[in-house]
Amino acid sequence: MQRAADLARGWVELRVTGEGEEFFNLCARRGLGFWAARKGADGSWTCRVSFLTWPKVRALAGAGAWELTLLRRGGLPGLLWRLRYRWALLAGALVCLAAVGALSRVVLTVQVSGNQRVSTGVILSQLRARGVRPGAFGPGLDTRRICHQVILELPEISWMSINLRGTVCEVLVREGTPRPELVEEDRPAHIVAKYPGIITAIHTTRGQQLVERGDTVAAGDTLIGSWVDFVEPLYYDGDMGGMLVRAGGRVRARTWHTLRAAIPLSGEEKVLTGREKTRWTLELFGREVKFSQKGGIPYERYDKILTYHTAPFHLPIALRGETCREYETRTRPVDPQRAVRALKGELEERLAALCPPSEVRRVDYRAEERDGLLTVTLLAECEQDIGVTVEDGP
């Protein structure tokens, strides 16, 4: 700690020739501090005094039988003294200190944590629209107002906090619990068939069951009605009527789905011509500095490839290259086997949207070529839930 203090206040090393003991006694009587006093082989003394004390000590040069010789200056004042005629170097040092002090308050990295359903890119885009981005001045950000605005734009987020830690902007989010779907139990509804099929099982919890196992139904047929008749007591000849309820239950049936997909037997293929053009852009603190000249791409058809060269230590500096490669197209026949595999994959995705894979009992494919098209037909037999709740009209 003492060494650091000496470097900060600066010191002067001097040689005392002559009556050194008398000189030190005089400094002590006048309260002029000194340290590191050493006697040399020739009888002279060396010591150090602070940079501020040196003018008073120098005034004692003619007060006795001794001579004072300045050997060197040290510490920060000594460094500035040596740079007193080097204005450019001194100005550069001051500019560097000011830049370090200013850049320490600038946001260089934005980190988002705590999100699961909402993607990080969506959150970063909302923050960037409100000024939270690399290159922003941290103390100038109204973090509380920004958090409120982002929460209003993203209802999935229930809480957000922005913490500035030096050059890192830490964004903490908490996602709310999804709102459950509200069902009006008092509103009458009936259950209809979503797909045609043969009923294999029906379990009614509320409402009037209108079909039995083994019945064939079409899409839109009512399976469980919303009207329930009251059962008249024994020896009662009148009609007690009934009531409207919200039908409930589960209806399973054997269903058949037919899906088709087609693709041309010939297609266009890209062929690179070997001509390309690259444009470079410097991304500095969220701003772009373009090096290339103005003008469009001279190619009619081209592919654009982006390459990024980022700076180390997560600095928001990147060199982006946009390479445009020209290509031509030519017609070539499509490989039938590869086309059939691609169409089968597409049909399987469409079937999964209609029926869960675990409920598919059998799948058959048929491929045919006609009028320049390759058509693949999927025939699937499933056993699935076909009941859909439909609310009664007003």
Most confident region among 37-46, 63-72, 342-351 by mean pLDDT? 342-351
Q: Is the pLDDT of residue 314 over 60?
A: yes
Q: To the nearest whole number, what is the mean pLDDT of the chain?
A: 85
Tens digit of pLDDT for each residue in 1-16? 566 666 667 788 888 8
The pLDDT > 90 percentage for the chain reads: 38
For residue 150, the SS3 value is: helix
- Looking at 45-49, 151-155, 181-185, which range is the least confident one? 181-185
Question: Which of 27-36, 88-97, 138-147 reaches the highest mean pLDDT?
Answer: 138-147
pLDDT of residue 119: 92
Going from the C-alpha of 227 to that of each of 182, 191, 211, the distances in angstroms are 22, 11, 14
Q: Do 73 and 10 meet the contact criterion of CB atoms below 8 Å apart?
A: yes
Taking 3-state DSSP, the helix, strand and coil percentages for the chain, each rounded to the nearest 5, stand at 25, 45, 30
pLDDT over 80 at 64, yes or no:
no
Tell me what the mean pLDDT of segment 113-118 comes to.
Answer: 91
- Parallel, antiparallel or unpaired: strands 45-50 and 11-18: antiparallel
State yes or no: pLDDT of 347 exceeds 70: yes
3-state secondary structure 233-249: CCCCCCCCCEEECECEE
Residue 43 has pLDDT above 60, yes or no: yes
Please state the pTM of the whole predicted model.
Answer: 0.53
Cβ 362 vs Cβ 380: under 8 Å: yes
Structural domains of the chain in order of their starting residue, each with its CATH number: 2-82 (3.30.70.260), 109-175 (3.10.20.310), 189-251 (no CATH), 260-265+334-383 (no CATH), 268-331 (no CATH)
Percentage of the chain surpassing pLDDT 70?
A: 90
Radius of gyration in angstroms for the set of CA atoms belonging to the chain, rounded to a whole number: 43
According to DSSP, residue 138 is labeled G
CA dist 35 → 14, 32, 47, 68 (Å): 11, 10, 6, 15
Cα separation, 225 vs 389, whole angstroms: 10
- Which of 80-94, 309-323, 364-378 has the largest mean confidence? 364-378
pLDDT band at 79 (very low <50, low <70, confident <90, very high): low
Mean of pLDDT values over 219-238: 83
Alpha helices in 225-366 (DSSP H): 336-354
Q: What is d(CA 87, CA 224) in angstroms, rounded to the nearest whole number? A: 94
